Structure 1
Amino acid sequence: MFRADLDSTWLVGSLHALMKLALDEVSHDRLPRDHAADLITTSTLALWRN
């Protein structure tokens, strides 16, 4: 179940920010490309689940 206590605009914005952060980290060789998707998924689920 998705969170109902946070505005959907905030949740979508947080996903966008996580994706941009992952891209920046991969681009600067601070995060392996194959690990970025796992981090985005894990972080998003932790933030969005109630």
Structure 2
Amino acid sequence: MLFLMVGITRLRYGQVVTAIMPFLLPIIATILLLIAVPGLATWLPDAMGY
């Protein structure tokens, strides 16, 4: 996907990586949080009775 963005935008690879960092870091943090506390992923379905 990253190489596709580089090809479409004609920007350098480093520029694209720098541009996506603000979006990538919260995603990684969320994944790590869900791994550390798996109950967060099932809390809402449990609360709704599923």
What range describes the TM-score normalised by the shorter chain of this pair? Answer: 0.3 to 0.5
> Which structure is higher in helix share?
2
| Structure having greater relative contact order (Cα 8 Å, sep ≥ 6) | 1
Give the TM-score, by structure 1 length. 0.40
Higher-Rg member (1/2):
2
